Amino acid sequence: MQVLNPIDVQLGRSLRNRRFAAGLSIHNFATAIGVTNARLLEFESGEERIEARIMANICDVLDARPSAFFAWVSNESPSGQPRRQKLDAA
């Protein structure tokens, strides 16, 4: 039995909630982002990871930034310190 990654599951919940809020059916949304109905359901359940290309399509269709799907992520690290907002240039 496959163990689902909790981040993929939560991302899928966020996706489903935003799709519902937009009033889009599974079929209409799947067609708009270029995937099958079955694959969309796998994304929403966390069974399959969302590729960057598909995430870009999702954001376009839902008129949302990628960060909107991660609103549930804490802005603090496990040590209680604020997470860094930007990466340092190499």
Residue-wise pLDDT for 77-90, tens only, equals 555 555 555 555 55
Structure tokens at 5: 């990654």
pTM of the model: 0.79
R_g of the chain, CA atoms, integer Å: 15
pLDDT at residue 73, as a whole number: 73
DSSP count for the chain of H helices, then E strands: 4, 0
The domain that holds 47 is classified in CATH as 1.10.260.40
Cβ distance 40 to 29 under 8 Å? yes
Q: What is the mean pLDDT of residues 6-17?
A: 94
On whether residue 11 sits in a domain, the answer given is yes
Q: 């991660």: which residue's tokens?
A: 70
Q: In which domain, by residue range, is 42 found? A: 6-68
Report how many domains make up the chain.
Answer: 1
Spatial CA neighbour of 17 closest among 56, 50, 64: 64
CA distance 44 to 29: 12
In a domain, 81, yes or no: no
